[in-house]
Amino acid sequence: MAAQPEVRELSGAEMVIRALIDQGVEVVFGYPGGAVLPIYDALFKQNRLRHILVRHEQGAVHAAEGYARSSGKVGVVMVTSGPGATNTVTGLTDALMDSVPVVCLTGQVPTHLIGNDAFQEADTTGITRPCTKHNYLVKDVNDLARVLHEAFTVARTGRPGPVVVDLPKDVLFANGLYLPPESAPARKSYRPQAKPEASRIAAAAQLIMAAKKPLFYGGGGLINSGPRACTLFTELVRLTGFPVTLTLMGLGVFPASDKQYLGLVGMHGTFESNNAMHDCDLMINIGARFDDRVTGKVAAFAPHARKIHVDIDPSSINKNVRVDLAVVGDCAEVLAALLVELKAQKYKADPARIAPWWQQIETWRKRDCLRYAKSDTIIKPQYAIERLYALTRGRDVFITTEVGQHQMWAAQFFKFDQPFHWMTSGGLGTMGYGLPAAMGVQLAHPDALVIDIAGEASILMNIQEMSTICQYRLPVKAFILNNQYMGMVRQWQELLHGGRYSESYTAALPDFVKLAEAFGAVGMRVEKPADVDRVIKEMIAVDRPVIVDVAVDPAENCFPMIPSGAAHNEMLLGPEDKQASGPISEEGMVLV
């Protein structure tokens, strides 16, 4: 089917393959079934697209997310109708919340059976409407090429997100005309605003020049905008000499090893970041969305700050927090314009003006908020991550995580100096994200060291993907911080529910070493602090998939913590703070 003249008719299924190739797709994560058999047949007859056979459709979407977030390309998923489609819903919602570009092709029963409760029929566009950026049901093969190209445009541009294209089986068999991407008509109603208004840039520059206690607050929008945005952000931060904090989704957009970096912000962010957020007089939010995990109690959020908010999505602006200056546009465009404007204004950093602010920040830093009680007898989870970081430095390392305490410790203790190397489920908080995501990352970066920092509960949610990982010989490492608890649940129960550990202990965990071996991977277990380094080195040395079961302290809690409903300057710094701050407010209790 190579280089056919444009006018030749193709079947719908052939068009799907052709459109994917024309869109530059190299890898598709999928799972076959009756409704998509024609596409699988067309797939069989070509060798340009690589299909990765997952073990569960949720895994396919998370894999596509990991692939997309680590490579900047669109992740592609292909599943059958009914259960195949419904199994993608968690992944799609995850991609929507974290703005990850994914195109998901779903099979559908033939058009004449739609609405009849046919075998494996589900109202896929109905079910996925609230969890996609956009979705389509293609009823005419002559619309197919246009829709597929549009799906990629919508997924990739503006604020990226997941797009579903539902494909009835008769449309896949029908013949029609194929349009290449460049001749597909553009959608008139879809026009994301990339270029910012000049007057807003000028106003932002004025605020920057006047600030005495400024703070940059960078987020995942910088990652989505791309490498140029991250470089320009770093340039701007260095030009000004201002402190910078990053959201969970933004880790790596500014080097963590830089003195200007204050660490993670938010519920488990650093003391210096959160206090700087609270006390600053100018907050420059670039590509973050004032998520409730970041703001804490909105009424007490940064009460003295003028706020600038740069976002490509106008609906993010003034949603949770009222800002003083909104700049709608693509982060890279905005940053480039801002740098030009500052140059035109002959801006020079004024260290004297912000020196008292930095002195204040240094006093917060001295609290050394990530300090934890070390132990010779039991492995502290923080220690395991510190060693993992230390022993993997200098390599091309990508980290994914599951959801829970281990995720927060990974965000606190693994330092990222580059963007695109950290993949986590931030918005939805999906347990089971990390292992399939790591699989997707490894496919995009075959020679890199890809590690899923996991919890023992989370990883069981998509453990079946070990089978995929082994099939394709992907040397993914699962580094499980095994505390035998749903640790984050246990921590909230300890702090908020009188230590009643209702259903947060997993009584019958599998033997992860044997489990690894059963899948055909390598299993390792470490129980003593003294053995941690050796096992990590062994893990790195093995050029195969590995599960490392790290037996960590089951009682450890993740600090600092802003209790729900509290303000940034009311953080708990460690176990000793628990009582001092008194019980959590009723208002706070109802928050998630």
Ligand X SMILES: Cc1ncc(C[n+]2csc(CCOP(=O)(O)OP(=O)(O)O)c2C)c(N)n1
User: Residues in the site for another protein, rule: CB under 8 A?
Assistant: 125-126, 129-130, 133-135, 137, 154, 187-190, 299, 313-315, 317-319, 322
Nearer to another protein, 125 or 231 (CB): 125
Nearer to ligand X, 23 or 458 (CB): 458
Place of tokens 């997952």: 54
| Euclidean distance between CA atoms 473 and 258, whole angstroms | 36
Task: Give whole-number Cα distances, 422 to 26, 225, 385, 401, in Å.
Answer: 22, 16, 14, 8
**Closer to another protein at the Cβ: 314 or 446?**
314
Q: Which is nearer to Mg ion, 89 or 460 (CB)?
A: 460
Q: Is 209 a catalytic residue?
A: no
299 binds, among ligand X, Mg ion, another protein, none (CB under 5 to 8 A by kind): another protein
**Residues near 76 by beta carbon (within 8 Å), at least 6 away in sequence:** 20, 25, 27, 28, 29, 64, 102, 103, 104, 105
Report in angstroms how near the CB of residue 99 gets to another protein at its nearest.
12
Helix (H) or strand (E) holding 37: helix 37-44
- Pick between residue 310 and residue 466 the one whose CB is nearest to ligand X: 466
Residue 489 interacts with which of Mg ion, another protein, ligand X, none, CB < 5 to 8 Å by class: ligand X
Active site annotation includes 119: yes
Tell me which of 132, 483, 557, 564 binds Mg ion, using CB under 5 A.
483
- 327 contact, one of another protein, Mg ion, ligand X, none, CB 5-8 Å limit per kind: none
Residue 402 touches which of Mg ion, ligand X, another protein, none (Cβ within 5-8 Å per kind): ligand X
The window from 281-289, 327-335, 352-360, 396-404 that contacts ligand X (CB under 6 A) reads 396-404
Residue 316, interface with ligand X (CB under 6 A)? no
Task: Name the residue type at position 293.
Answer: R
Q: Which of 488, 539, 561, 571 is catalytic?
A: 488
d(CA 220, CA 424): 11
Q: Which is nearer to another protein, 135 or 285 (CB)?
A: 135
Ranges within 446-485 binding ligand X (CB under 6 A)? 455-458, 481, 483, 485
> Rounded to the nearest whole angstrom, what is the least distance from the CB of residue 134 to another protein in the complex?
4
User: Which DSSP category does 421 fall into?
Assistant: S
User: Could you tell me if 135 and 95 are in contact, meaning their C-beta atoms sit under 8 angstroms apart?
Assistant: no
Name every residue whose Cβ is closer than 8 Å to that of residue 264 and which is 6 or more positions away in sequence: 245, 246, 247, 248, 251, 270, 273, 411, 412
Q: Does 162 bind ligand X (CB under 6 A)?
A: no
Residue found by looking up tokens 């997309």 in the block = 68
Nearest distance from C-beta of residue 479 to ligand X, angstroms? 12
580 contacts: CB under 8 Å, gap ≥ 6? none
Annotated catalytic residue 57: yes
Tell whether residue 426 is a contact of ligand X (CB under 6 A): no
User: Is 413 known to be catalytic?
Assistant: no
Q: How far is the CB of 501 from ligand X (least distance, A)?
A: 12
Name the nearest CA neighbour of 582 among 567, 572, 569, 592: 572
CA-nearest of 279, 360, 289, 309 to 568 is 279
Which class for 319: exposed (0-12), middle (13-18), buried (19 or more C-beta within 10 A)? middle
Does 405 participate in catalysis according to the annotation?
A: no
CB 61 within 8 A of CB 104: yes
Report the catalytic residues. Answer: 57, 119-120, 169, 488
Binding residues (CB under 6 A) for ligand X: these are 402-406, 429-431, 455-458, 481, 483, 485-489
